[in-house]
Structure 1
Amino acid sequence: MAPSRFVQNFSRRHAILVSNDERVSATLPPTLARLGLTVEHRATGEEAVDLSQVPLQAEDHVVFVDGDLPRAPVLPFSAGPGSLPLAPVVGLVGVEAPSRLRSLMQAGATAFLAKPVYGGSVFSALYLAVNEFAQKADLSGALAAHETRRRQRRYVIKAILKLMRERGLDDDDHAFAILRRESMQARLSIEAYCQYVVQRSAAQSESGAETLVMTRSAE
């Protein structure tokens, strides 16, 4: 897996700040604005801040979550192995209690910023959060692709047996070579192509069986 290109320009990103700390809301937004980010401030009231319906994009957003909030915000997470929030998260740390640090990690924080916030430390936290998130996302994607191919391998065996039966082949290596050539022509992995072949054959068999039943019923 090729390493991600490190991002160091954060202009045109949108930061969502979830905090009730007036010192944070006074210090952090101006610093982020100087780095080219727009800032949206969300304060927690009786209910936790719910970002689950916000269309977050990893390339466009950064979420700053205050660890001292009375109620942790609700963030949208990706599905599948290595589940991640949909955008990088920076944890704002005031009280360094294990429970609050754990809450920030559960929110998906990949960098931390100590309170009170000093302008000189913001870029480093932003850099770590965005780039560490990108590496985790790449790894999660690779794991998901590997898991998909692992599940599809059973179709390779079925497709080989099907091809040997249909073409009268007695060499499974020959059948595999044919399927690999066809998968390359279709621009699919061998696993995905074999799944397509097997499922297409099953669908055709079911369609043929239904047609036969309908014909006999009409008679």
Structure 2
Amino acid sequence: MLSKLGISFGMAEFGDGKLQIDPGEKDVLFIDSDLNLAVETGALEPSRCLPVIGIIGVEAPSRLRSLMQVGATATLRKPVHRAAVYSALFVGINEFRRRRYLADRVEEHERRRLLRKSLVQAVLIVMQRTGNDYAAAYDHLRRESMRARQSLEDFCETFIQANGPESDEPQIHVGTNKTYAKKR
């Protein structure tokens, strides 16, 4: 059925109870839960590398758990019927893409959350140097980050590196296109 869908396939080699694959060469990984193998993909977990479709023979909880730990996004029941392969591929690949998108979003939000301390520091620096209140300092940084076409958090990180408390009294030009200037 895979060849009728235009998909080439191959058997992966395994040893020492581990299946070693290179995610760059593969598009989809089919794993037979009856083999009870660990999957080794290098630094990344298999569910971040490629869609995993589990082939289930015996529905023992330990075998189902091992498929879930590998990150199976779809399953096929033994004996595998040709008509079920396309739908398993469709569901597996699209679920993989959805999970990957959500994981990337969570990572980006976490990265930005960790940079929020830079936002607070930058606001405090602007408040101290200009005498503005919190809202005015925040608005100034937000406008300047838009001009620089950066996220507010990334802009504040750059701002802190250039205007941090350890610098020698940098000038801040409020209302201009330059947020920070060179040291005097």
Give the shorter-chain TM-score range: 0.7 to 0.9
Secondary structure at the aligned position of 2:2 is classed as helix
2:138 counterpart residue number: 176
Q: Aligned partners of 1:203, 1:36: CA distance in 2, in Å?
A: 61
1:53-72, aligned counterparts within 5 Å?
54-56=22-24, 61-72=27-38
Please list, as runs of the form range in 1=range in 2, the aligned pairs for 1:159-198 lying within 5 A after superposition.
159-166=122-129, 168-198=130-160
Alpha-carbon distance, 1:72 to partner: 2.6
Instruction: Return the alpha-carbon distance in structure 2 between the equivalents of residues 62 and 76 of structure 1.
Output: 16
Distance 1:133 1:176, change over 3 A: same
- Alpha carbon RMSD of aligned pairs, Å? 2.4
1:145-160 paired onto structure 2 within 5 Å = 145-160=108-123
Instruction: Specify the SS of the correspondent of 1:110.
Output: strand
Q: 1:162 to 1:138 in 2, by over 3 A?
A: same
Amino acid paired to 1:110: T
What is the DSSP-based 3-state SS (H/G/I as helix, E as strand, rest coil) of the residue aligned with 1:73? strand
Counterpart secondary structure, 2:11: strand
Where does structure 2 lack aligned partners over 5 or more consecutive residues? 169-184
- Distance in 2 between residues matched to 1:201 and 1:49, nearest whole Å: 51
Per the TM alignment, residue 148 of structure 1 is displaced from its structure 2 partner at its CA by 1.4
Contact 1:156 1:194 in 2 (8 A): yes
Pair 1:177–1:96, CA change in 2 (3 A): same
Q: Using the alignment, how far apart are the partners of 1:201 and 1:170 within structure 2? A: 17
How many residue pairs are counted as aligned between the two chains? 168
Structure 1 residue runs without a partner (length 5+): 1-30, 207-219
CA contact (8 A) 1:77 1:85 kept: no
Cα 1:138/1:77, change in 2 over 3 Å: farther
Q: 1:143 to 1:194 in 2, by over 3 A?
A: same
2:6 alignment partner in structure 1: 36
- Equivalent residues in 2 for 1:53-132, closer than 5 Å: 54-56=22-24, 61-76=27-42, 78=44, 84-132=47-95
How far 1:70 moved relative to its partner?
A: 4.4
Return the letter of the residue paired with 1:63: L
Runs of 4+ aligned residues of structure 1 deviating over 4 Å after TM superposition are: 76-79
Q: State the AA in 1 paired with 2:159.
A: V
Matched-pair contact (CA < 8 Å) for 1:65–1:90? yes
Kept after mapping to 1: 8 A contact 2:119/2:157 = yes
* Structure 2 length-normalised TM: 0.81
